Structure 1
Amino acid sequence: MNATERVMAALSFRRPETVPLFDSYWPEFIAAWRRSKQVTGDGAALDEPDAADALDAYYGVDFRLAAAVEAPWPSQVAELSRNGDVVTQRDAWGRVTRKRADAKFFEEVELPVQDRSAVATLEFEPPSLDSRYESFLQRIAVLRSRPNPPCIFAKVGGPYLRTSNLRGIEQWLIDIAEDAGFVAELAGRVTDHIIEVGLESLRRGNLYDTGILIADDIAYNPGVIVGPASYERIFLPLMHKMIHAFKAAGARKVLMHSDGNIGTVLDGLVEAGLDGIHPVEPRAGMDALALRAQYGSRLALIGGVDNAHVLPRGTDEEVRQHVLPRLEAGRDGGLVIGSHSIGPDISVARYDYFVSLVREYG
């Protein structure tokens, strides 16, 4: 089996040749891996132009994502001012942000939807813009050119978190509490736009035989951020609309990524047609073995390995005792094993050991 055959067999609850692997890697882990494996800075020692791709190839990662530019106004991106190392810019979501040039996080200075009445006059740039798909198609071409290409899914955002970009997260949460009608209208506009970008991604990337992942961080460790009642009333119908649109277009599988514990709304997502979830975080109470017992062949699991306690601080035996039951549960399908992400608190040696277990027992 190649990677696509392995992943699609697992997602379809057929026995794969080996349990597929999916992980993503923090830059700090990649740097440590380079030092450990004596890989040159540009990844050239493994004949890969990108360090993350080199690491993927080394470990045999079976699954990867490619995302188009889904934000409403990509042509409006501009640097507005620079004062020393502080940059003020407008992003593709229409936000004016300020941050240090080398910083990851930013301050929101101005937001595109400042008044609830503005939703009626919002005009997004067309989902069909070729520029939205340039890096997306380049990414797919790079992945497909590998000697052992991974299974590729398209990726889009979801209705909860992406819409918050237009209002700011604090105001968005207030909106959800105060005016569900406005929230549903604004999120509906964003959802319709993202659906069109997703459909174009499936078509341009020819990804119908694999599918699409909806990334929407709706939860934190204790549970769904807005509570299950608000989520099911406002956002679940929009997720149902997305899932139905992608499947009606021919997408074989529709998956969802959300951090945290989504257990209280998972029944509704499964009933809406969702095929699988990522990352199934143990630290958030998302137990892959319990979920397998609860949902059986109705829900595939991607992830399931503890990257907060077991991989960073467990002994080899503790890692073994954690990983082997999950591999056993996925041997006949239904699991793509991995974690949320691999950060600098996980040693290269420990991750090597984890992957060796997957290869030996998966």
Structure 2
Amino acid sequence: MNKALNHEEPDRVPVSDFFWESFVKRWRRELNLTESANPYYYYDLDWIVTTPNMDPKIQSFETVREDETEVVVKTGFLTTMRKKFDFPMPEFVSWELDTIEKLEAFEFDDPYDKRRYFEAGDNQIAGVGDGFERNSPAWIETVKKLRPDFPVYGSIIECSECITRMLGQGNSLLWMGMYPEQFGEQINRIGQFYLDCMKAQIKAADGLLDGMVIWGDVAYKQTMLFDPEYWREYFKPWVKAMIDECHKNNLPAIYHGCGNVELIFEDFIEMGLDAYNPLEVKANMDAVELKRKFGNKIGYCGNNNIQVWETGDKELIRKEVLRKLNAAKGGGFIFQSDHSVSSEVSGETYDYIVKLVRKYGKYPLDLQEFDEEM
């Protein structure tokens, strides 16, 4: 991982991914594996990400209602969420902080509170997502458990991810338009909170982390969700501060942001980001073309088309996998899907993909008929 992020050619291209729990269940079933089988261990994948408690308020889930098919809870983001157990992702129902005045009056819990890192408990990011989990294990224990077997990355959300979760996308975009400076002050307050959370996380890990993922979505399929100049004024400084803090602690930083970020991609290069993820193909992001344009100014993580994987067509998949490995020439590329592995991907398909990368991702690269000049 470190060699790749340093734009050197290691023995092979690093490979890992983010997996939906519904995919993992299908993968176990279709490959006749045990109930405890884990794709990270089974394939000896090359890195793994962990999430401490990043809730603005440290509190147990408040159950609104629950039955055998779904649960509705209010979380530490003061957000009410509905999780149907048979559906892959939850629904955001409502937000307590539904006016800018309520946001201004809101007080965050201490980012250095030890419960975030050293105690089990409910938290929205770990507990309400693809699956549903109460009383998530203490983050530091998860890090220690994984550390002998993987490069372990911590993670932190930044302003854009927080406002989506705590205020809702509609409120956030509306307030940017109605109260740009007033809302900008609140973005700065949120940015400081999560920068402090990241500092506290690094301190709590006490040398056990190998890197950091910064989560934040500011774009969709076509382009950014809002004016890039507004992003540069209020969001970018906090991302830059997070990257700087990582580097101060000798930790590479990978930014995860969905959608087409072409308008601000060079800003991430300017900030010294080590790699960008997930580079969604459906949003017209292409790691090979980006590598041609920007070379080793930044690393590329992801970009393998999950919609191609979902077809199960081995010829299409082989073409997608081998062509994107061109971006690994000279290092700087981590192989993953262009977001996460969904339940529409069969166990056999993912098994085939990992074997392809292990075979053709060895240096010096031999990409057969899909070799391209870089």
TM range (shorter): 0.7 to 0.9
**Which has the higher mean CA deviation after the structures are superposed, 184-193 or 317-326?**
317-326
| 2:48 alignment partner in structure 1 | 64
**Residue aligned with 1:154, SS:** strand
* CA distance in structure 2 between the aligned counterparts of 1:279 and 1:267, rounded to whole angstroms: 16
- The residue aligned with 1:95 is 79
Residue 15 of structure 1 pairs with residue 18 of structure 2: no
CA distance in 2, matches of 1:313, 1:166: 36
Secondary structure of residue in 1 paired with 2:307: coil
Q: CA deviation at 1:101?
A: 7.2
Whole-angstrom distance in 2 between the partners of 1:30 and 1:227: 38
| CA deviation after TM superposition for structure 1 residue 102, in Å | 6.9
Q: In the alignment, which residue of structure 2 is the partner of 1:116?
A: 100
Q: Which amino acid aligns with 1:36?
A: E
Offset, 1:84: 9.1
2-structure distance, mates of 1:291, 1:247: 24
TM-score (norm 2): 0.83
- Report if the CA contact (8 A) 1:66-1:155 is conserved: yes
Q: Residues 31 and 348 of structure 2 are in contact (CA less than 8 Å); yes or no, is this contact kept in structure 1?
A: no
2:146 maps to 143
**1:210 and 2:216 matched:** no
Q: Which runs of 5+ in 2 are unaligned?
A: 119-137, 362-374
Counterparts in 2 of 1:101 and 1:345: CA distance versus 1, 3 Å: closer
Letter in 2 for 1:33: W
Look up the match of 1:4. Answer: none
Q: State the SS of the aligned residue for 1:255.
A: strand
Whole-angstrom distance in 1 between the partners of 2:64 and 2:347: 41
> Residues 179, 289 of structure 1: CA spacing in aligned structure 2 closer, same or farther, 3 A cutoff?
same
Residue matched to 1:233:
233
Q: What is the aligned partner in structure 1 of residue 280 from structure 2?
A: 281
1:235-294 per-residue CA deviation (whole Å, 9 max, x = no partner) reads 22222232223333x143111001111111111121122111111121211101011111
C-alpha contact 1:280 1:287 (8 A) present in aligned 2: yes
TM-score (norm 1): 0.86
Q: Is the 1:86–1:101 Cα contact (8 Å) retained in structure 2?
A: yes
RMSD over aligned CA atoms reads: 2.4
Tell me the CA shift for residue 307 of structure 1: 0.8
**Distance apart, 1:10 and its partner CA:** 0.5
One of 26, 33, 54 as aligned partner of 1:39: 33
Task: Please list every run of 5 or more consecutive structure 1 residues that lacks an aligned counterpart in the other structure.
Answer: 1-6, 44-50
Q: Which has a greater percent of helix? A: 1
Return closer, same or farther for 1:185/1:19 CA change in 2, 3 Å cut-off.
same
Residue 117 of structure 1: SS of its match in structure 2?
A: helix
Shift of residue 208 of structure 1? 7.5
2:162 is aligned with 1:166: no
> Structure 1 residue 98: deviation in Å?
5.5
Partner in structure 1 of residue 124 of structure 2:
none
Counterpart-to-counterpart distance in 1, 2:349 and 2:33: 18
Greater CA deviation, 352-361 or 239-248?
Answer: 239-248
How far off is 1:107 after superposition?
4.8
Kept in 2: contact 1:97–1:110 (CA 8 A): no
Comparing 85-94 with 315-324, greater Cα deviation is found at: 85-94
Q: CA separation of 1:109/1:356 partners in 2, compared to 1, >3 Å: closer, same or farther?
A: closer
Contact 1:22 1:303 in 2 (8 A): no
8 Å contact from structure 2 (residues 95, 166) kept in 1: no
Using the TM superposition, give the Cα deviation of residue 82 of structure 1 relative to its aligned residue in structure 2, in angstroms: 5.8
Output the CA distance in 2 between the equivalents of 1:206 and 1:215: 22
Partner of 1:79, secondary structure, is: strand
Q: What's 1:317 paired with?
A: 315
Which residue is equivalent to 2:257?
258
